[in-house]
Structure 1
Amino acid sequence: MDRSFYHFVLSFRGGPKDDAKAVFAEAMFHDHSFPKQEYSFDQLSRYLEEKADGKMPITVFDELYDRYQEQIR
């Protein structure tokens, strides 16, 4: 699969406002510097750690990345 993490997470946009994955997806979409073509866990987590946006917490990223990995296997 050649779908980036960014494009995978976009599928969670528009979800309930109390769904952490939907909130993450919406914040990611509005972050114009998010690495849209990145696949690497290390690169993505480094970006999120440096950005430190409360709407994109690492715990939610970890859950989404696990789902992403399951889908690309």
Structure 2
Amino acid sequence: MSVIDLRGLSCPTNFVKAKLALELLDPGEVVEFLLDDGEPVKNVPRSLKAEGHRLLELKEEEGFYRLRIEKGEEIP
């Protein structure tokens, strides 16, 4: 499982980078994103879920959040 550090990136750049990373995966694969508190942790999980991906875990670490996402099925 890969870990992608999106800390220090503002919205919507962090979402765009997360979306691009998910495009490289096959449906069912899992990836972890590291997110800052505030707007990123509110918006990125919600937006990825709206795109059809599954939120597996959102865990607070020391000063940031760890988001595990399972890639959803491709929508033609």
Q: TM-score, normalised by structure 1?
A: 0.31
Higher helix share: 1
Higher strand share: 2
